[in-house]
Structure 1
């Protein structure tokens, strides 16, 4: 052994013995001293604990820095802004250029999906009460590896994309959301509970915290700071939970509330405003600080149920979808409906709710057609309809979620499967 290693090991053993003496483990310290025979006397000291705490803090900071500042995780462009745009050159791919990279199956219909804010993970939830957390990079890598290897299965060559399977609900998982900076996943269910899972631990199966609600949980939205959680249920009153104390708050004015079950809630990127959709056909905007309603878009989809709401990156616009099978772009400052994305209604109105979403650059609006089991796509700025993408499911698709950082989305279906779609880099032909 090299002299430097001998000296380092001696210092390590001395630190361990000093820590044991400091903590009162005299017999253990004496036994270890007799075995390792340190070069000098070891007085009681907590230096080892301080070194350990410093190291752990550094590791956590490094992990958080990687998760939040990686340039590869930032979507290109600044998003849609009709006020200043004239001729915009669209560089992001149409959905018809996406391919299925990975398929995972539940034991029941899959009806919930959500990407983490940094795009590293996606979670799916099912009627079978299970939740799967998938690593996006692993799904992409597995697809590339199988393509290069001719689909030859070589165990261990590619890590399995499903990194966690969580079981702690007693009924269908209806909604999911990720903490913005920590490896925490929140889920809602028909069993009237909200669960918080720490999926940073490989042994995690059960929730670390539970919120008991009074009705079926239908929608969740995490505040951009991760300190608060909005919960929408079968009851029309929206709840706001402080995730540090689990104290619940509601608007002090009963007239602010919806008149029916909540279908979706979402914050804008700054957390200053949130939007809610409801079975009553209205869309509401709320002040994220006072928790008061500041605007209502009445009968936003011709009186039909509103299924989804999503803010643009700059918060100037709100994308909504309804059971009229139409998506609409609203200007949040004035409440005007600027563009209606039509064509999906030609095959018939939706029976079940489905989401309208932006792609990662907000160049396109996407919406799953229930009857044809295909994905509709529109240019967000002109409303021009693009080519359809057949989703390859054997049942209706009631949930899609697009990554905010890369050209990838996930489709969830009644056929029990969730498909991850991704625009692969072009390869030259031989």
Structure 2
């Protein structure tokens, strides 16, 4: 039997195993893997079903109408229906290096990237917000110390990575999000307010618009159009605000709401739905038009508080993390957890943090609370990569990855935010 035939047979067995996992038949999948002596690192996928459907469409006895999803080519990012065997080319987290460190006067608790990946904002317990230019941070780290020391005060100001420092909150800044198309930054705070800053003007320090809430603001997310802002607070009820009028909307059925404080919210990229999670241990999926809850993942992390939710670019999957120190990838259409990423700590976390994709969605990143190191997994098969020591002297409370390049920001209770980057010319 030739090598090509053996490879084809191995691939066929892997697709059968992944289909069994996809359909929930874990025991059968394990037994088949042992019988045919095939590796079980096959993430759940319905790839075999799609191949079968395509074959039936070519069969004269099974002429079926092709749906739109059957003719759409896979896009960038994770898609287990098409790319379970993709070779990742993006750098793993262990190859990133610290390029810049900025310090607040209190614990650093929040961060956000803009959609182009050229700006990042950090928020602190000291009530301040910093907006940093990514190119300036990279240039600063690449400039020899002797040249930096010889810069004049004017040159230092012109080249300084912190391009704006915003002050309009009176308590801790808990969350940040950039408007998708214009230079507006939204922030939420423990002072019960949401602020909108126009950071296009260098002299402006204060917000041009403020929304007063009845509880501590914990999370927020702009609609992809920028016209609406989703806000989660200490109160279980989600709020949706019209950015222009500040009109507030809530779901019509109170029974659909969470039963404990909201910990994270996010619109999916195509704006059809949005997701929320809570201290009540649930993840909820909401219709982006009707504002109604269309699905609830109960006990998403075995009853533990769910800390973060992040959509994949294609809006098919949702990445969640919980205080059980686990990260899970959910398939939204079937409401099932397809992959669990394990090994980030051995016990329950004390503080919330996020699980995030890297810019290509080849990897999942999640800070280990006890060791202040970064765990990294292959997003498609949950294979653990090398740990990255984050260099913080206290717990990492926030991590956000650039949407466009190999860079991320970590925020810590040691008052610092670190910018990590993988240069293309680094060995």
- TM class by shorter chain equals 0.7 to 0.9
Corresponding position of 1:37:
none
Corresponding position of 1:119:
117
Corresponding position of 1:129:
127
d(CA) in 2 for partners of 1:318, 1:293: 16
- SS of 2:218's partner is strand
- SS of 1:141's partner is helix
- SS of 1:349's partner is coil
Asked if 1 retains the 8 angstrom alpha-carbon contact of 2:345 and 2:369, the reply is no
Question: Structure 1: which 5+ runs fail to align?
Answer: 1-76
- SS of 1:137's partner is helix
- SS of 2:159's partner is coil
d(CA) in 2 for partners of 1:244, 1:332: 31
Shift of 1:151: 6.0
Structure having the higher Rg: 1
d(CA) in 1 for partners of 2:148, 2:80: 45
Q: In structure 2, do the counterparts of structure 1 residues 275 and 92 end up closer, same or farther at CA, with 3 Å as the change threshold?
A: same
Corresponding position of 2:94:
96
Shift of 1:410: 0.2
The total of aligned residue pairs comes to 351
Question: Structure 2: which 5+ runs fail to align?
Answer: 1-74
Q: Which aligned pairs between 1:225-264 and structure 2 lie closer than 5 A?
A: 225-264=225-264
Shift of 1:425: 2.1
Q: Which aligned pairs between 1:236-385 and structure 2 lie closer than 5 A?
A: 236-346=236-346, 348-385=347-384
d(CA) in 1 for partners of 2:174, 2:150: 34
Q: For each residue in 1:25-82, what CA deviation from the matched residue of structure 2 results, as whole angstroms up to 9, or x when unmatched? A: xxxxxxxxxxxxxxxxxxxxxxxxxxxxxxxxxxxxxxxxxxxxxxxxxxxx700000
1:141 aligns with 2:139: yes
Q: TM-score, normalised by structure 1?
A: 0.80
Q: TM-score, normalised by structure 2?
A: 0.80
d(CA) in 2 for partners of 1:283, 1:367: 19
Shift of 1:146: 3.2
Q: For each residue in 1:3-30, what CA deviation from the matched residue of structure 2 results, as whole angstroms up to 9, or x when unmatched? A: xxxxxxxxxxxxxxxxxxxxxxxxxxxx
Corresponding position of 1:79:
77
Shift of 1:152: 4.4
Corresponding position of 2:27:
none
1:154 aligns with 2:151: yes
d(CA) in 2 for partners of 1:146, 1:160: 15
d(CA) in 1 for partners of 2:223, 2:144: 38
| Cα root mean square deviation, aligned | 1.5
d(CA) in 2 for partners of 1:102, 1:86: 35
d(CA) in 2 for partners of 1:150, 1:371: 38
Corresponding position of 1:71:
none
d(CA) in 2 for partners of 1:152, 1:388: 34
d(CA) in 1 for partners of 2:232, 2:260: 11
Q: In structure 2, do the counterparts of structure 1 residues 160 and 336 end up closer, same or farther at CA, with 3 Å as the change threshold?
A: same
Q: Which aligned pairs between 1:376-415 and structure 2 lie closer than 5 A?
A: 376-415=375-414
